[in-house]
Every structure is written in structure tokens, then in C-alpha cells.
Structure 1
Amino acid sequence: MPVTYTVHTAESATAVFPALVRLYAVVYAEPPYAEGPEQVAAFAGGLSAEKERPGFILVVAQDDDSALVGAAYGWTMTAGRWWTRADTEPPEDLRSASKFAVMEWVVHPDRRGAGIGGELIHRLLDGRPESWATLASNPAAPARAIYQRAGWQQVGRSAMPDGTPMDLLVLPLPAAPVRRR
């Protein structure tokens, strides 16, 4: 089934948020997350603040019926900033650089394995001015192995407020915009 990708800035992202919250609820109901209505509501409640962060961008994938089948978003983590609750400091060249923080990168379970996730992250990171991309991943999640195969490197650990451990990963970004054919 064909997929259409759309890039949203802070100005246009709000219209997509209800569908994003529904997709989040499906993806994060799965193990190891097992999130319920309380966590989904917290995610939904934080989206307005997320879109106000510098460098915010949201990429969505929709099928022919306009159903959201994947999404990825993030924002600029300014030079000098790092993940809260990190267990170690990152190398100085990483801390002192601007980074693009990938906050969510999800694909509907029924649509995985078709390259949607790869295309989402490519579109999300293509042409970014930051030197690095970074994300936090649950080490028990199947996605963690996918990140490693794609070249993401672990530089530390952190924990969610509920105590869930998270691997802190980075990926170097090209110095110049990369154009895809």
C-alpha cells in the first residue's frame, strides 16, 4: 500500500496531533512499554510544548486512506545541553555541539518491515544543521537493535521518571545537506 510523507513545522503540526496520539497509543501499548491511558494523556498534553521548541519538525507517513501509519519528530538540543537524568557526561565535542533530539519515531505495528521507519528518519534528519542526532531508547525494545544496525552509538544511559532505563544514542550528521534522489 503506497505511503505519502508530509513534513510539518510548528505551525502545521497541531492538525496532525490527534492522529499522532492515536498512533502513539497503539505503538506504546506493546511490550516492553505497556503504556495505558495515563501515559497517552501525558504524551498528548506535552505536544503543544514540544512544537514550541527550537528546530521542531514532524514527519508523518499516511496511507491511501489518510490514516497515520508512522511519524517521527524532534527539535534542536542546543550546544551545552544534554539529556536530563543521564548517568554520565557525553564527550565534550558532543556536549558542545548542537544536536537534533529525536523525541518520537514510531511505525504502526501492521506496517513495520516496509521501510517506513527508515524513510521517516531520513526525511527528519535530511539537511539538519546540527552536527549530531540523539535519541533515548528502551534497551528492551525491538527498535533498539534497529538503531544499532543503522549506526546509532550508545554514549550513556538515563532513566525515565518511572525508572525505566534508557540508552542514550547518537548518530553523526553530514556537515552539508544530503539530497536524496
Structure 2
Amino acid sequence: MPVTYTAHNPGSAIAVFPALVGLYAVVYAEPPYNEGPEQVVGFANGLPAETQRPGFTLVAADDAGGLVGAAYGWTMPAGRWWTRADTEPPAHVRNADKFAVMEWVVHPDRRGEGIGAELMRRLLDGRSEPWATLASNPAAPARAIYQRAGWQQVGGSAMPDGTPMHLLLLPLSAAPVQRC
């Protein structure tokens, strides 16, 4: 089925949230996440606050059957980094605005079609921040996809439940040439 991509600002994203919560429930029920209803409710309850972050943008991928993928994030301002990070990023990264990718999900039945890559391309295209960053579970299959797409690990972290995470960084077109 053909896929339509739509970028959303905080006002228009709210209409996507019910479908996004449903997609989140499907994706995060899979191993290694194994999330259940409690985590899904927590995700749903946190979405309105996410739209209040500076630079919030959501890109949705729909086909005739509904939402098949989505990615969203917001600007992490200069001087800020991931709260539970075990190391600091290089100074030139910390001292710059970064685009923090908070979710990047594709329905399991639609993976391998390039939907995820197109979501990320559209989400990051034209961003003013020189870097994009995200946290990834190292046990998730997506972690290898991020590495192939050029994301570099710059540290680690842990979720409140203790799940280890890799903190990844991707230079965007405005990024300085320095390597991490």
C-alpha cells in the first residue's frame, strides 16, 4: 500500500496521538521491551507534555489502513544532555542545540519497506540543530539499524527500571566536521 508522510507541529500532532499510542503498544510489546498496559498508559499520558518542548515535530506515516510508522522529537538546548547519562558528550556537542529523537517506530508488518528511513529523513531534514541524538536499547534489533545509518554511540544510560541504553549521536548537515 502507498504510504503518505505528514509532518505535524504541536497543535496538529494531538490528532495523531490515539493512533500513535496504539502503534506504540504493538511495537513495544515485542522483545526486548515487553511493555504492557501500564507502560502504554505512561507513554500516552506523557505525550501532551512532549508537544510543549521547544522544536517539537512529529512525522507520521499512514496508509489506507491507518498509522504504520511515526517519529518525533524536540530540541535539547545547548548545555543539556541526557539526564541519566554515564558520561558527558564532547564539549562541542554539549554546547550546541541537539535534536532529541524520542520515538521512532514502524509497525512490525511494515518493516523492511524503507518507512523508518523515510520517517527519519523527513524528521531531520532542514533542522537547525547540528546534531541529532537518541537513546537505544542495545538488545533491540533497531540498534544495528541506527549504526548502519551512521549513528555513533557516545555514552550509555539506564531507564528508571534499570534497562541499559546506548546514547547515540548523528551529525546533521550543519554539524562541525569534528568526530566524536
- TM-score by shorter chain over 0.5: yes
Question: Quick one: which amino acid aligns to residue 30 of structure 2?
Answer: E
- Length, aligned pairs only: 175
Deviations 1:135-179 (A, max 9, x none): 000000000000000000000000000000000000000029xxx
Q: In the aligned structure 2, how far is the partner of 1:39 from the partner of 1:140? A: 19
Q: Percent identity?
A: 80
Is 1:71 aligned to residue 89 of structure 2? no
Name the counterpart of 2:146: 147
Question: Quick one: which amino acid aligns to residue 34 of structure 1?
Answer: N
Name the counterpart of 1:179: none
Is 1:28 aligned to residue 28 of structure 2? yes
Deviations 1:84-134 (A, max 9, x none): 110011110010010000000000000000000000000000000001000
Q: In the aligned structure 1, how far is the partner of 2:89 from the partner of 2:118? A: 28
Question: Quick one: which amino acid aligns to residue 158 of structure 1?
Answer: S
Q: In the aligned structure 1, how far is the partner of 2:75 from the partner of 2:105? A: 19
SS at match of 2:82: coil
What TM-score, normalized by structure 1, do the two folds share? 0.96
What TM-score, normalized by structure 2, do the two folds share? 0.96
Q: In the aligned structure 2, how far is the partner of 1:59 from the partner of 1:85? A: 27
Name the counterpart of 1:6: 6
Displacement after TM superposition at 1:64 (Å): 2.0
RMSD of aligned Cα (Å)? 0.8
Name the counterpart of 2:178: none
Displacement after TM superposition at 1:41 (Å): 0.3
Is 1:60 aligned to residue 60 of structure 2? yes
Q: Unpaired runs of 5+ in structure 1?
A: 177-181
Question: Quick one: which amino acid aligns to residue 139 of structure 2?
Answer: A
Q: Unpaired runs of 5+ in structure 2?
A: 176-180
